Amino acid sequence: MSNILTIAKRELRGYFASPIAYVVIVVFLLLSGICTFKFGRLFSNGQADLYWFFFWHPFLYLLLCPALSMRMWSDERRMGTMELLLTMPITPWQAIIGKFLATWLIVGISLLLTFPIWITINYLGNADNGVIVASYIGSFLMAGLYVAVGAMTSAITRNQVVSFVVSLVILLLLVMCGWPTVTDLFVSWAPPPLLDAIAGCSIWTHFESIQKGVLDSRDILYFVSVMAFCLFTTSTIIRAHRAG
């Protein structure tokens, strides 16, 4: 555990030594405010909830999480420091988990700093704080999934832009495959079990369920399973580079 924490601290120092962490946090807060107060019309819709605040999170994370995670491994490969890192007395898994946790923590800090919006909604009306807490948990889990996908694509290439684009495409597909406009394309020929399987792979489907205030174990298992799969794939890729 100490090795994981050492790697995580190293990554956090790297993020905050450059503008990237500050830019991501500020942009997330600004976009969250715009989406909530302008597009969600928080003051005029007459409802004391944060539905529209969380509604936009899958799309905000599409830009912010790949932007954070694209440097996770591609930088190490580009500068030739991956070999040095992996020759240290740590295992590849410890390095992967440490980097992943540091990046996920920055997104968590961004999410935590939105608490004034939560305070505002409680000031304006009788908010259902149980639903809001569940939505925050769901959003944090979703962010972890996005970061894990970004880690996987970052391990594939030395080019940060390629990593960003590939993770963006993968995540967009995972979000959109649960939308009715997409599933309707399969209704005419696909059997119901296949439709359920496609919808079941969607980030949107599972996050929307949590947004209703229900922390279903199946939704939590989905996010954790995808994270674990992506981190395992990252480990396989890194081991292949190490062996090569």
Residue-wise pLDDT tens digits, 152-207? 999 888 888 999 999 999 999 899 887 777 666 666 666 777 667 777 788 988 99
Whether 203 contacts 145, CB under 8 Å: yes
pLDDT tens-place string over residues 221-233: 999 999 999 999 9
Distance CA 28, CA 140 (A): 14
**How would you class 209 by CB atoms within 10 Å of its CB: exposed for 0-12, middle for 13-18, buried for 19 or more?**
middle
Q: Is 12 left (phi over 0), alpha (psi -120 to 50) or beta?
A: alpha
45: phi then psi, degrees, rounded to nearest 5: -85, -10
pLDDT band at 100 (very low <50, low <70, confident <90, very high): very high
pLDDT of residue 81: 64
pLDDT band at 112 (very low <50, low <70, confident <90, very high): very high
Which of 92-96, 106-110, 128-132 has the weakest average pLDDT?
Answer: 92-96
For residue 244, pLDDT beyond 60: no
pLDDT band at 66 (very low <50, low <70, confident <90, very high): very high
pTM of the model as a whole: 0.90
Distance CA 203, CA 141 (A): 10
Whether 145 contacts 227, CB under 8 Å: yes
Of the chain, the percentage scoring pLDDT greater than 70 comes to 84
Whether 226 contacts 148, CB under 8 Å: yes
pLDDT tens-place string over residues 13-44: 888 888 888 999 999 999 998 888 877 666 66
**How would you class 135 by CB atoms within 10 Å of its CB: exposed for 0-12, middle for 13-18, buried for 19 or more?**
buried
Nearest Cα residue to 146 out of 98, 92, 203, 95: 203
Q: Is 216 left (phi over 0), alpha (psi -120 to 50) or beta?
A: beta
Residue type, 195: L
